[in-house]
């Protein structure tokens, strides 16, 4: 009997997921003679055994589609909501694959998916992952599919905002996705000619941003564009955040749960951050300030050619790894080649923007402000 593999997509959607599904499926079917099923709605579908057959007809015509034909969710195998309880369903998921004759699972997702896949691998499931996220923050790979499309969308938005900012002589703040890392805001900020870019990796001081924008006006610049990662944070709040994270990471049992709750409460206080930043800058500079929040528009639509190429390359390599019985790995993009990285090295780590990254150095040479 031909080997049977399963595919699921988990976490947030991103352009390129369907291209990856198509590549895995077509390579598995045509080159390696495998059978392929797709689990619906992430790990939740794996638990419920909800699946579809991924044959040639199912894979046809999906290369250019955004989103994922399999659906997705943020359900976690070890903390699954069952009724009014949170239950560890990893053993049940492993048993489900055995009952269905699925010999291996390929999971497409971001940092959380890498951790969840490793959790299943430790329970005996044969797992391969692909790195997907518009944030480009999965450790072990230089690029994640979804990032290039989102970068294009964010850059085009900044391009369009230039004209209205110039016409009305305003500061316009554009909030760009990136809760923990600033790759997207940094890349689109440079490509779109933003004057200030605020990243989670570089805590900012509001007075320094105001000074930078005021100097621009004094030199004759009649508008400014500020690109802000949704996770950008002021220096004083960054200190509090780091203290809370350390408390969570270095405690156990009830203390850990209490620290986790305090951290969650603090995160809630950061909601509406961009609007507050705009109000503060308007008060400090005396310049009319407006905000634009791109939100989920960055995750939608047709994937760019670069994302399709990347997702296809990684998907084909994932099918090959499954055929070769090479599991417990993530298929990564390094030095323009596909590489197999041990999942234990990936899970729990994050690829943040290094402070000496060429993009940051380029921005500083251009006179771009980072709020520090």
Same domain, 87 and 179: no
Contacts with 324 (C-beta within 8 Å, 6 or more apart), sequence order:
none
- How many Å apart are CA 265 and CA 261, to the nearest integer? 6
Residue 130 is predicted with a pLDDT of 98
Q: Is residue 326 part of a domain?
A: yes
Q: Say what the pLDDT of residue 280 is.
A: 95
328 lies in the same domain as 240:
no
Active site residues: 135
Q: In terms of residue numbers, what domain contains 155?
A: 151-299+354-365
Please tell me whether residues 187 and 315 are part of one structural domain. Answer: no
Cα distance from N-terminal residue to C-terminal residue, the chain: 61
On whether both 129 and 262 belong to a single domain, the answer is: no
Copy the structure tokens of residue 224: 């400014």
Cα 259 to Cα 129: distance, rounded to the nearest angstrom:
31
DSSP state of 133: -
Mean pLDDT of all residues belonging to the chain: 95
Cα–Cα distance, 196 to 204 (Å, whole number): 11
Residue 185 and residue 98 share a domain:
no
Considering the domain boundaries, does residue 141 fall inside one? Answer: yes
Q: Are 19 and 26 in contact (CB under 8 A)?
A: no
CATH number, domain with residue 27: 3.40.50.450
From first to last of the 372 residues of the chain, give the pLDDT tens digit: 468 999 999 999 999 999 999 999 999 999 999 999 999 999 999 999 999 999 999 999 999 999 999 999 999 999 999 888 999 999 999 999 999 999 999 999 999 999 999 999 999 999 999 999 999 999 999 999 999 999 999 999 999 999 888 888 899 999 999 999 999 999 999 999 999 999 999 999 999 999 999 999 999 888 999 999 999 999 999 999 889 888 888 888 888 888 888 988 988 888 899 999 999 999 999 999 999 999 999 998 999 999 999 999 999 999 999 999 999 999 999 988 999 999 999 999 999 999 999 999 999 999 999 999
Q: What pLDDT is stored for residue 2 in this prediction?
A: 62
Residue 303 phi/psi, 5-degree rounding, is: -65, 145
Residues 6+ apart with CB under 8 A from 241: 233, 263, 266
């Amino acid at each position: 009997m031909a080997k049977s593999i399963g595919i699921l997509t988990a976490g947030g959607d991103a352009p390129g997921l369907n291209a990856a599904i198509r590549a895995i499926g077509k390579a598995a079917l045509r080159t390696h003679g495998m059978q392929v099923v797709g689990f619906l709605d992430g790990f939740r579908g794996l638990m419920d055994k909800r699946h579809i057959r991924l044959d040639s007809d199912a894979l046809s015509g999906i290369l250019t589609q955004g989103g994922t034909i399999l659906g997705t969710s943020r359900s976690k195998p070890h903390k699954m909501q069952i009724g009014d309880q949170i239950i560890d369903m990893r053993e049940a998921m492993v048993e489900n694959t055995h009952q269905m004759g699925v010999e291996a699972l390929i999971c497409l997702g971001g940092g959380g998916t890498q951790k969840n896949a490793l959790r299943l691998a430790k329970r005996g499931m044969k797992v391969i992952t692909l790195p997907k996220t518009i944030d480009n923050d999965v450790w072990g790979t230089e690029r994640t599919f979804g990032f290039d499309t989102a970068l294009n969308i964010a850059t085009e938005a900044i391009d369009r905002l230039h004209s209205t900012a110039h016409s009305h002589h305003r500061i316009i703040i554009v909030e760009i996705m990136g809760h923990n890392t600033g790759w997207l805001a940094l890349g689109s900020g440079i490509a779109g000619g933003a004057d200030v870019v605020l990243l989670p990796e570089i805590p900012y001081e509001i007075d320094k941003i105001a000074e930078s924008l005021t100097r621009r006006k004094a030199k004759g610049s009649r508008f400014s564009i500020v690109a802000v990662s949704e996770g950008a944070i002021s220096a004083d709040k960054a200190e509090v955040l780091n203290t809370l994270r350390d408390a969570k990471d270095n405690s156990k049992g009830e203390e850990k749960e209490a620290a986790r709750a305090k951290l969650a409460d603090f995160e809630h206080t950061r909601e509406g951050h961009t609007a507050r930043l705009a109000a503060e800058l308007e008060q400090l500079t005396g310049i009319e300030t407006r905000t634009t929040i791109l939100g989920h528009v960055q995750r939608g639509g047709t994937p760019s050619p670069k994302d399709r190429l990347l997702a296809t390359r990684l998907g084909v390599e994932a099918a090959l790894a499954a055929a070769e019985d090479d599991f417990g790995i993530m298929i990564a993009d390094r030095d323009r080649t596909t590489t197999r990285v041990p999942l234990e090295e990936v899970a729990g780590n994050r690829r943040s923007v290094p402070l000496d990254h060429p993009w940051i150095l380029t921005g500083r040479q251009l006179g771009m402000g980072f709020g520090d």
